[in-house]
Structure 1
Amino acid sequence: MLNIPTQAFPAPNSQQRIGPSSQSGRNKVALKPGHSLMDWIRFSKSGKDLTGLRGRLIEVTQEELQKHNTRDDCWTCIRGMVYNVTPYMDYHPGGEEELMKAAGIDGTELFDQVHRWVNYESMLKECLVGRMATAIKGTHTFALYDWFQTDVSVHLVIYAKRKIPSTGCTSVDLQAGVLRLEVLLGKMSYMIHLRLAEEVEENVAVHTAASVGKIQVSVRKQAKRKWTSLGQPLEFHNTFLRKKDRALFYRNCVLVSKTEVNHNTHVFRLQLPRGTVRHVPVGKHVYLKALIKDTEVVRPYTPVDQTMAAASHHSSQDSDLYLMIKVYPDGVLTQHLNSLQIGDLISVSGPEGTFSLRPLRDVTHLYLLAAGTGFTPMARLIRLALQDIDTIRKTKLLFFNRQEEDVLWHRELDELAANDERFQVEYVLSVPSDGWTGRKGRVDECILKDFLSRPDVSKCYACVCGPTAFTELTIGLLKQQGFSEEELHAFQG
């Protein structure tokens, strides 16, 4: 990682983090001189055999992987790919002890706890041993696909064999005749990956029959002739894997506009490629990636609607992506993003995150507690609660900021509260001006007692997002107020 000064907010391991993440769930150790990230990049490109296999790629069994579990012979598996990380041991910012936790085993889960956004494929490219021999193939037990054609079009049909969300579970990318389709089914991911047999138009249509679990993807042929096959299977075609075992997939989006929100925050509007159909569900985030000074920098951001007045279901029809980004003076990626011109490209991943709407069923009172840009996942959740969840009678936002000028969408939130009695917002400032008449201070038991109410025969749910210290303290205080684990969600990267 680049050695950048840390900021107090957003939290280093929060999905709202825009500056570099230097404290993301594990302790850094002091590396020896000559063992920085740039030193590792130079060493890995030196031409030395870092795998011990002289350039060969092999298929690795579980038994073989387990043999390589020592400091001097350390292999690990990340998303089905096996790496010899022995040469990297002295370069790892988390130290040898942390890296050894994944020795000889599948380290995907350990990796994701700290490094989900890191481009390990690039960093460990020269350490690649091969692929695990245990990839789970898609079977009819989970999902299957079929296809049919007319004179002018080709239709691919996915049968998920279960009810699915009406939006957000399907991502389709059609680029240069290659079709990549991913369907999220709970914690699992089903993928179709084909080089199509003939040339097609780039426009893609997706129709979802949620109640029966059917997804139909349609493309138009360039020539009116009969296809004898759908196409040639590519990597991971017809596979059914855990979502966390899929590597992040990026698309190049166009910066369409940049709208000022306050003195240091803008809404970036990004346009998806023509052949891409994808919707980011409420509460999920995406990753942005950029090559800055020969180093890939990746950070997570939560999409918002175009404004607070924009209905959440309208955004599902809008293919553009809106990201509220705070620009830090020493933020490597945010400074880069701020320098982009309209028409420039930005690499954007698919949706990530653990938030689910399922716990909101039958909820009557929704409490949202946010600090700074921790507001971004709350923005769409507020609109969803007011428009699409009939049981919710009250949605309350407690919004913590340093000064009044830092409050995001202040006017929009006030207007929404004035126009809809089901929504209420309260602001808390830690460094208020002399003229501020609202709440002052930081999150504590007293503030929460005043903010929360649990009417009889009510079902409550609370969401929290902000710096790690804020989130942990707030979750603890909410539990003291009687909230159970099932009634709480902490947005974290």
Structure 2
Amino acid sequence: MSLFPSINSPQRLGASSPSSSQKNAKVPLRPGCSLMDWVRLTKSGKDLRGIGSARMLRITTEELAKHNKREDAWMAIRGFVYNVTTYLDYHPGGVPELMRGAGKDATLLFEEVHRWVNFESMLGACLIGKLEQGPPINNATKSKLKASSLLAPQASNAYKGLSLPKAPVFKETATDQNSPQIKISFAVDKEVPPRQKPTTSWFQNEEYVSLVCYSKLGNLDKRSCVVLDILEDGSRLLAEILNRDSCIPLDVKLSEPVKDRASVTVNSEVGKVEIKLLKLTPHKQWANLGVYGESHCKMVTRKNSTMRYRPCQLLAKSLITHDTSLYHFQLSASSHIVVPVGCHVYFEAQIEGIVITRPYTIVTSNIVDEDPERSLDGRNLYALIKTYEGGAVTSRIDKMQVGDVISVSSYEGSFNPSKLYGRSRVILLAAGTGFTPMVRLVLHCLRQYMQIVVHLEFFNKTTKDIPWREELQDLTKKYIGRFTVEHVLSQADNDWKGKRGRITLAMLREILKPFSSYDDEMLVCYCGPVAFTEITSKSLAEIGIKSENIHPFLS
């Protein structure tokens, strides 16, 4: 099967190889084709199904294959068929990328690039039926399908009541009835060899019960490898043990309730994880731990695991620049997430009935404290978010008041700190909010690797657009000789004495020139808008920087 998106497409710009796990990048959309424009269109009553019938069709792969043109594009995802003809112009990845799935079952293509997107909600108004293997649909229906793809308006809620599709690899999908904001879904991969299968045991004393998992996983990060939630008034434990490649879900309907706090101990050398739960009724002896869910302790790959969401509350909001704020969110006491360096979470918002998710990198509360990582204690999350005019999720977050709640996912990301081993120079190229993944990476390098010298080249429009400008300068004074920052402005005023312009091949050569002698001891990371990442990716290749010495942050 061909790669989706194609290797040279805008959605893969900056990827070091076709196997890169980077996410898709956006391409510029025509005016009137923003996400909010699409939301409004789906609510307008206009017929987006385009089949001249309000009923759901049963569509064979043969019939689906006929609808593979720009003016007539159908697509199947997880067993359901959508008429995406109208949506093509609204697709953030561009028309050509979406057309790669037209006329076919695009489930695998979708899972590769858009796994985190709630397509059922986004394309609900375009749902026309189920994909089936069988005889073609009848001639009467065929004649209707040959008509214009946008006929007279039909009932826009014709698809309501139809059960939504599930990913074909899912063995269990459930919703916690007592906590409707927490979605529970795990995927099960191919059978794991017996010697590699994780196992669990449990024990208790007067005060607590402990669930112990022998994960058989290597490279477990002691702080961040466990994501957990205690649900149903302390009667259910849901957790995930994570490394960069694998996920072990733990799901136990507890025989007795526990308090809403848990502690985690990790022995990374042997892959042992202990989750200690405080008994709600001390001194009471449990006959057993409880009932295990179907997916309990069954190892899956990260790419096939499905995000769980839980509520988090806005505690504080601080204006950092004229359009960028630092948001302090806090999980409930019954949830625990420590996001690793270079990883992001997804915030989920319901906009006019459509569920929309967006990735945001987790930063620290500041960059000048002695130990900024201390603020990320499992309950507290900080995000540096720029509000875009017309932005669906950023506008929603910008309007949040202290005490308001939004849903947040578990974390994901492709950066592995082991890339820093043996490095003596780390060059960070950031444009605008592409600075966010660099925040913790800078601090991690400076605090954990005494031999690493870090240089940040920071691209913005004007001085008022630079977040934490003074704090970055303070950091250079704190780490003299180990950290430098240079600002480049594209719309600087006449008083600006620093660099001007945008990233170019010539500029990148000049930036890297002082580090050219370090070769394999150098790591170059970059993040920013599509045009920035495209030019940076091509320029690094032309300069001859090896792919193993490059890491793009794309989401």
Measured against the shorter chain, the TM-score band is 0.7 to 0.9
Note the C-alpha offset of 1:333: 1.7
State the alpha-carbon separation in 2 of the partners of residues 142 and 259 from structure 1. Answer: 46
Cα deviation digits, residues 326-351 of structure 1 (max 9, x gap)? 11232222221111111110111111
**Counterpart secondary structure, 2:475:** helix
User: What are the within-5 Å matches in structure 2 for residues 256-335 of structure 1?
Assistant: 256-310=315-369, 311-317=371-377, 319-335=379-395
Note the C-alpha offset of 1:323: 0.3
RMSD: 3.6
Note the C-alpha offset of 1:121: 4.7
Note the C-alpha offset of 1:233: 2.8
Question: Structure 2 vs 1, CA of residues 440 and 48 (structure 1 numbering), >3 Å: closer, same or farther?
Answer: same
Equivalent in the alignment of 1:399: 458
Amino acid corresponding to residue 242 of structure 1 in structure 2 = T
1:152 and 2:211 correspond: no
2:253 to 187, 190, 195: 195
Note the C-alpha offset of 1:43: 7.1
Unaligned residue ranges in structure 1 (runs of 5+)? 1-10, 16-20, 54-64
Cα deviation digits, residues 344-379 of structure 1 (max 9, x gap)? 101111112211112111110000000001000001
- Indicate conservation of the 8 Å contact 1:366/1:396, yes or no: yes
**Counterpart secondary structure, 1:99:** coil
1:443 to 478, 490, 503: 503
Question: Structure 2 vs 1, CA of residues 478 and 312 (structure 1 numbering), >3 Å: closer, same or farther?
Answer: farther
Query: TM-score normalized by structure 1?
Result: 0.82
**Counterpart secondary structure, 2:196:** coil
Query: Does 218-227 or 398-407 show the bigger shift?
Result: 218-227
Note the C-alpha offset of 1:236: 2.9
Equivalent in the alignment of 1:184: 242
2:297 to 238, 262, 280: 238
- Indicate conservation of the 8 Å contact 1:308/1:412, yes or no: yes
Amino acid corresponding to residue 504 of structure 2 in structure 1 = D
Amino acid corresponding to residue 517 of structure 2 in structure 1 = P
User: What are the within-5 Å matches in structure 2 for residues 7-18 of structure 1?
Assistant: none
Amino acid corresponding to residue 507 of structure 2 in structure 1 = I
- Indicate conservation of the 8 Å contact 1:68/1:75, yes or no: no
Equivalent in the alignment of 2:549: 487
Note the C-alpha offset of 1:325: 0.8
Question: Structure 2 vs 1, CA of residues 225 and 91 (structure 1 numbering), >3 Å: closer, same or farther?
Answer: farther
Cα deviation digits, residues 106-155 of structure 1 (max 9, x gap)? x24x2145433321354568364666478436665242222111222110
Note the C-alpha offset of 1:484: 0.5
Equivalent in the alignment of 1:24: 26
- Indicate conservation of the 8 Å contact 1:84/1:127, yes or no: no
State the alpha-carbon separation in 1 of the partners of residues 355 and 324 from structure 2. Answer: 23
1:365 and 2:428 correspond: no
Cα deviation digits, residues 282-340 of structure 1 (max 9, x gap)? 10111111112222221111111101114354244363100001112322222211111
1:173 and 2:229 correspond: yes
- Indicate conservation of the 8 Å contact 2:48/2:86, yes or no: no
Unaligned residue ranges in structure 2 (runs of 5+)? 1-9, 15-22, 69-73, 125-160, 172-187
Equivalent in the alignment of 1:462: 524
Cα deviation digits, residues 4-43 of structure 1 (max 9, x gap)? xxxxxxx99999xxxxx99737999x9xx99954469997
Question: Structure 2 vs 1, CA of residues 67 and 447 (structure 1 numbering), >3 Å: closer, same or farther?
Answer: same
Pick 1 or 2: higher relative contact order, CA cutoff 8 A, min separation 6. 1
Question: Structure 2 vs 1, CA of residues 401 and 76 (structure 1 numbering), >3 Å: closer, same or farther?
Answer: same
**Counterpart secondary structure, 2:101:** helix
State the alpha-carbon separation in 2 of the partners of residues 265 and 191 from structure 1. Answer: 36
2:449 to 377, 389, 401: 389
State the alpha-carbon separation in 2 of the partners of residues 309 and 210 from structure 1. Answer: 30
1:83 and 2:79 correspond: yes
**Counterpart secondary structure, 1:220:** strand
State the alpha-carbon separation in 1 of the partners of residues 454 and 39 from structure 2. Answer: 53
- Indicate conservation of the 8 Å contact 2:222/2:265, yes or no: no
Note the C-alpha offset of 1:461: 0.3
Amino acid corresponding to residue 278 of structure 2 in structure 1 = R
State the alpha-carbon separation in 1 of the partners of residues 47 and 258 from structure 2. Answer: 40
Equivalent in the alignment of 2:269: 211
Amino acid corresponding to residue 309 of structure 2 in structure 1 = Y
Cα deviation digits, residues 42-94 of structure 1 (max 9, x gap)? 979xx9764759xxxxxxxxxxx9999745899956xxxx4222x54556536
**Counterpart secondary structure, 2:446:** helix
Question: Structure 2 vs 1, CA of residues 375 and 83 (structure 1 numbering), >3 Å: closer, same or farther?
Answer: same
User: What are the within-5 Å matches in structure 2 for residues 61-140 of structure 1?
Assistant: 70-71=65-66, 82-85=78-81, 87-88=82-83, 90=85, 92-93=87-88, 97-100=99-102, 103=105, 107-108=107-108, 110-122=109-121, 126=162, 128=164, 132=168, 135-136=188-189
1:474 and 2:536 correspond: yes
- Indicate conservation of the 8 Å contact 2:490/2:502, yes or no: yes
Note the C-alpha offset of 1:241: 1.7
State the alpha-carbon separation in 2 of the partners of residues 291 and 464 from structure 1. Answer: 31
What percent of counterpart residues are identical?
29
Equivalent in the alignment of 2:434: 374
- Indicate conservation of the 8 Å contact 1:13/1:24, yes or no: no
Amino acid corresponding to residue 126 of structure 1 in structure 2 = L
Question: Structure 2 vs 1, CA of residues 184 and 226 (structure 1 numbering), >3 Å: closer, same or farther?
Answer: same
Question: Structure 2 vs 1, CA of residues 412 and 184 (structure 1 numbering), >3 Å: closer, same or farther?
Answer: same
- Indicate conservation of the 8 Å contact 1:12/1:467, yes or no: no
Question: Structure 2 vs 1, CA of residues 484 and 68 (structure 1 numbering), >3 Å: closer, same or farther?
Answer: farther
**Counterpart secondary structure, 1:262:** coil
- Indicate conservation of the 8 Å contact 1:51/1:127, yes or no: no
Note the C-alpha offset of 1:475: 2.0
- Indicate conservation of the 8 Å contact 1:367/1:397, yes or no: yes
State the alpha-carbon separation in 2 of the partners of residues 90 and 206 from structure 1. Answer: 49
State the alpha-carbon separation in 1 of the partners of residues 302 and 103 from structure 2. Answer: 22
Amino acid corresponding to residue 469 of structure 1 in structure 2 = A
- Indicate conservation of the 8 Å contact 2:241/2:247, yes or no: yes
